Amino acid sequence: MTMNQKEIDQLILQIPQIDDAFDELYSQTKTSVFAYIMSIIKNYDDSTDILQEVYVKLYLAARNYQSQRKPLAWIYTIARNECYLHLRRQNLTHEYQDHLYCPPETDMNTKMILEYLFESLNDQEREVIIMHSLWGLKHYEIADLLGIPIATSLSSYHRGMKKMKKKIGEMKDE
C-alpha cells in the first residue's frame, strides 16, 4: 500500500506523540528514499548508512515539523543533504597520489590523464570540475556544498576547463 502525501504529512506530525508513527513512516517510505540515496551515492553499504542517518535526523526534526503539501520532498531534502555531506567527507578522507578523488569505477588510464591535466588547476577549480564532471552534481549543488556563490562555481569550472584544454593542446604539440 502506497501512502499519499497527506498521510505522510500526518505521520510526521504524529511522531513526537505516537511511537508507531515513526515505524509506519519508515516502512512506507524507506524504499523510495533508499532508491533516491542510491541514485546519488551509487554504493549499497554507504547508502544503507546514509538511510539510517536520514531517519535519525527526520525523527529528531519531527518535533519542529510544520505541515506541508509535499512532505516527501522534505524527506528527500534531508536525504540529499546527507548524501552531499557524505560525498564531501569522502572527498576529504580519500587520498590518491595527488589528492585526486575519482569515482571507484574510473579506470587507471583516465586517472593518470586527469592527474596530468589537473596539475595546472588550483584546488577550487579541481574540486568543482570533479564534482560536476565526475560526480554529476549541478553547479547550485556544488555551490551549496562548498559554501560559494553559484557564479564562482561556474567560473571555476569554465576557467579550469580552459586550462585543461590548453594543456591538451600542449600535449598534442609535443
Q: Is the pLDDT of residue 14 over 70?
A: yes
Residue 145 grid cell = 556544498
Give the CB-side neighbour count of residue 8, counting CA atoms within 13 A.
20
User: In angstroms, rounded to a whole number, what is the distance separating the alpha carbons of residues 160 and 141?
Assistant: 18
Domains of the chain and CATH, by start? 5-92 (1.10.1740.10), 96-173 (1.10.10.10)
pLDDT tens by residue, 78-114: 998 898 888 877 765 444 333 455 555 667 777 777 7
pLDDT the model gives residue 9: 93
* pLDDT at 96 (0 to 100): 36
Average pLDDT score over residue span 11-35: 92
Quick one: pLDDT at residue 56?
Answer: 94
CA distance linking residue 147 with residue 153, whole number of Å: 10
How far, CA to CA in Å, does 60 sit from each of 22, 54, 57, 63, 78? 11, 10, 5, 7, 12
**Residues 66-70, mean pLDDT to the nearest whole number:** 87
Q: Report in angstroms the alpha-carbon separations of 108 from 104, 123, 127.
A: 10, 21, 19
Shortest CA distance to 25 belongs to which of 81, 41, 33? 33
Could you tell me the pLDDT band of residue 116, with boundaries at 50, 70 and 90?
A: confident
Distance CA 108, CA 106 (A): 7
pLDDT at residue 77 greater than cutoff 80: yes
Is the model's pLDDT at 2 over the cut of 80? no
